[in-house]
A and B are shown apart, each in its own frame.
Chain A
């Protein structure tokens, strides 16, 4: 057998990975990303003449569990699945809506406003909380798995390693920087909603500016505590604290000093205080004018 030249080797690597979609209604246009368990392509649905995202699982025999999970979760923050099937080589695939927008990490790089970032974060929490309500834990939340649309719509993507509450996360699943300690431990440990709370806590850190507001830093610390018992019990509780911070209210994760409370009160009621100031100034002027 002859030596396989580099050019031929690279050609073979490429053509053996490209999905064989003969017999399906889809035509691949280009690769757009790699997820937890497979590759995502932009494809054209030739029957309906529309662009779709087509995820092809990595290996034979891996069923499109992710498609089944997503089909269970109908929510504006979760990408709808259109169709699923098996390629001639045994790999599973499923078609879903093609989301146009930026990944959360790209969005953060362009969007400097903390309130705008936190509003997006609230929407992420809403989608994840909905999944939790249906008993599904994402297990691989990270900025790269969240898409932000041009109108501020948010999609939580890549449910390839999601697990049902109480079951163990897939071995090796998740991304170390965002993975809860109990998920990273060997031995297929059972995980619950707090594994996603941990990851969301880490994501919140990514959204904060270098000079982190103390209450917000305390929220992220509580969310990503090493011991699950020290974290927020649910994503709703976590999101509620973020909302309180956005609304200028005290957060449960942080005990503020009287001075900080005064500062927060001032920031929250600047207009009222300004009007009161003007009122008393006018009263004072009128008082002195009357005396002279």
Chain B
């Protein structure tokens, strides 16, 4: 698995965690399984967390980095994961609530430090300002970035799988069609470009989409508490 080059937070991780329902519980424990499980969680959630803090909490690049680093450190050191109860909600929702709580606590600590004591502000102008500025799109940042990250990681896994299993042509057809940033080529154009029948283009696309779904679901199962949550999150991830 390629190491995420643009951050030191994603970390190396295994592509197909297998222990599903016990992964989050493992992450709350100690030892090698805990590290593996934590890496799976960090791989999926660090970017949504960072972008959420940047946009929802309007933090600078450096401020958001410090907060997210601090949050995930606290996640590991302060047994935040042990507090997750699958019967009360989804892990994604829990993590986001913990992150918001963490940012608020950091704000309070910073203010106390600045004012040099236990002063509690009577008016919370910052919160009022945040409420004023909040919009649905801002609230959706964490969710949208979670979707983006799940698919980005799935695509990374797909590329690696194709490279190691001699499926470069399938990958090329898939990337040229499904990842086209401008106008999509027609199946006939793709067939001519690669010297294959149109039906093969159809088959390659169907295969790649199927594999991508499988790989994304494998990632998802690593950061959910079991089948019901995995299914519910799958619904939030796939579809229109």
Contacts and interface: CB of A to CB of B under 8 A. Distances in A.
Nearest to A89: B210
B237 interface: yes
Contacts of A59: 217, 227, 230-231, 234
Interface in B204-224: 206, 209-210, 212-214, 216-217
Contacts of B180: 8
A11 B179 CA distance: 8
B151 A37 contact: no
A91 to B, nearest CB: 9
Given A8-B181, A58-B231, A13 B206 contact: no
Contact size range, B: 20 to 34
Contacts of B216: 16
A261 B220 CA distance: 62
Interface in B116-152: 144, 147-148, 151-152
Contacts, number: 76
A8 B179 contact: yes
A172 B87 CA distance: 8
Nearest to A16: B213
A172 B86 CA distance: 10
Contacts of B232: 172
B238 A5 contact: no
A89 B214 contact: yes
Interface in A1-26: 1, 4-18, 20, 22
Given A20-B206, A60-B214, A4 B231 contact: no
Interface string A46-83: 00000000000011101000000000000000000000
B114 interface: no
Contacts of B198: none
List 5 tightest A-B contacts by C-beta distance, closest first. A17-B238, A16-B213, A89-B210, A17-B239, A172-B228
23 contacts: A1-B155, A4-B148, A4-B152, A4-B155, A5-B181, A9-B151, A12-B179, A13-B147, A13-B151, A13-B239, A13-B240, A16-B209, A16-B216, A17-B239, A20-B209, A22-B206, A60-B214, A89-B213, A89-B214, A90-B214, A170-B228, A172-B228, A186-B87
